[in-house]
Each structure stands twice: as C-alpha cells, then as structure tokens.
C-alpha cells in the first residue's frame, strides 16, 4: 500500500495507512463523472472544496484491448498523480495535488485514488466559445490562442502527450474574464491518460494536435487564428518556414481530425438508431 496526504488533509484522516485509505475510498459527494471502475466527485472537507477520483482496477478485457491497440493500459490513479506533478514541475498550471493512494498490485483488483483542490470558479474554453454569440474581442482571442499554444508547445517539448487534448480540458478562472489583467491563467486538466516519453514521437504529436483541431471545428476561429496558434506552437514567426518544414505533419493532423469527426458522427447515428428502436 502507498499513501500520501498533504498537511491540509492529514489532520482530518484517521491514523494508519489502511484506515486513511478506507476513509478516502468511503468519501461521497456531488458526482461529476461515473464510468465503469472510476468515479469522480466533488466534496467539501474542512470548509474547502476538493475533487476525488476513485479507481477500482481494470478488467483483463480492458488490458488486452489496450495492448492490441499498441497502447499502454492506464492502471489506476498513479498515472494522473505522476503527470500532474510533472506538469507542475515544468511550469504548466493544472490541479493542485493534495492526496494519492494505491492498494493492491494486481491491475484487476487494485484500488487507488487521487484528490486535488477544486479550482476557483472557472469555465472550459469550449464553454467560453459556446457563449460567443458574436465574434469576441480580437485581443481576447489572441491571448487565449497564445496561451494554449505555449502550453501545448511546453508539454510536447518535455516529451508529454495528453491523449485527450480537447479545448474542454483547458479551464479559465471567471475572475480573470471579469478583470482580464495580464495573460490568461489557463489550467490544463484531466491528465488521466497522459504519457511521458524521452522524445515525443510523430504519432503522439499528430494525435494530440488533431484532437485539438477537432475540438475547435465550428468555433468562431478564423484561418488567421489557426496560423497564430502555429506560430506560437513552433516558436516561429515565418509561416513559410513553418509550412516548408511541417507540411506532412499538417496533412496528417487534418486527416486525423476528419477521422475523429466521422467517428463521432457514426457514434451519434448509432445512438440515435438505438433510441428509435427502444
């Protein structure tokens, strides 16, 4: 068993690793997301809000399926714990860790958890874009595009890929929107599937950037906005040099984004057909 609690929680928990672990796994609160073998909920402890994510192992079918797809299975909360700490180390804002625990060695029976402080009131970039009934201010768009480009460039430069790099995983505090002084303090969230590499491969770079492109389709962004992101991401002002060096990469990103779109459309059609049959 491995367990760690920050000082702000340690005085609330019962003494002893097993008692502390059982206390965390017994917490309950406002459910945010519940899927098979994983539950995320919001809870208040000592007058402060936290998010608790509890994991209950993987099935062998899940593990084999990931291996067949040449993907590393994500076993419990440990990966998010490591990735959150790593992003903090390289200067990318994300949720603040306050607790982590794991019990058991077998992936199918292992239980684990991670607790993070809740952010101040915030919205995702996806929610913000949906509120734009007309074109937002050019300055705001430039600031957000630059902030996203810098985060993704820094993450990829450190050999990290997110695997779910959609705009709804970037959060912006509402108090900054009300009083936008300085650069937007963006937080990158949901690091459950993130991976670290010595050098980020072409494949994972394409997957991340294609997911990001897919997630802004239909948003009020111009061609110039897309080009501004590329200038920030590559750290290069000359668009001709960017396209000369990365033409093949851009084609792969566009094709992958289109594939994600078609996959989503098929999923929606299947769900609609299933609802009609009911």
Q: Are strands 2-5 and 97-103 parallel, antiparallel or unpaired?
A: antiparallel
Q: Looking at the DSSP assignment, which residues form a beta bridge with residue 53?
A: 40, 114
Q: Which sequence positions are flagged as catalytic?
A: 164
């Amino acid at each position: 068993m491995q367990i760690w609690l920050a000082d702000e929680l340690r005085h609330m928990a019962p003494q002893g690793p097993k008692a502390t672990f059982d206390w965390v796994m017994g917490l309950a609160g406002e459910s945010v997301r519940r899927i098979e073998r994983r539950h995320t909920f919001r809870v208040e402890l000592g007058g402060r809000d936290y998010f608790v994510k509890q994991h209950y192992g993987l099935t062998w079918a899940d593990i084999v399926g990931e291996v067949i797809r040449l993907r590393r299975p994500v076993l419990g909360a440990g990966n998010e714990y490591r990735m959150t700490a790593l992003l903090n180390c390289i200067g990318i804002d994300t949720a603040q860790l306050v607790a982590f625990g794991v019990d058991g060695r077998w992936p199918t029976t292992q239980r684990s958890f991670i607790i993070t402080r809740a952010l101040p009131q915030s919205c995702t970039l996806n929610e913000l874009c949906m509120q734009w009934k007309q074109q937002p201010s050019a300055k705001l768009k430039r600031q957000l595009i630059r902030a996203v480009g810098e985060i993704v460039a820094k993450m990829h430069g450190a050999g990290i890929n997110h695997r779910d790099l959609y705009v709804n995983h970037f959060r912006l505090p509402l108090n900054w929107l009300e009083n936008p002084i300085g650069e937007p303090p963006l937080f990158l969230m949901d690091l459950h599937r993130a991976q670290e590499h010595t050098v980020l491969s072409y494949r994972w770079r394409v997957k991340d950037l294609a997911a990001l492109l897919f997630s802004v389709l239909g948003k009020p962004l111009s061609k110039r906005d897309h080009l501004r992101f590329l200038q920030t991401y590559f750290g290069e002002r000359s668009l001709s040099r960017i396209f000369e060096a990365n033409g093949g990469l851009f084609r792969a990103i566009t094709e992958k984004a289109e594939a994600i779109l078609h996959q989503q459309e098929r999923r929606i059609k299947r769900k609609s057909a299933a609802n009609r049959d009911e």
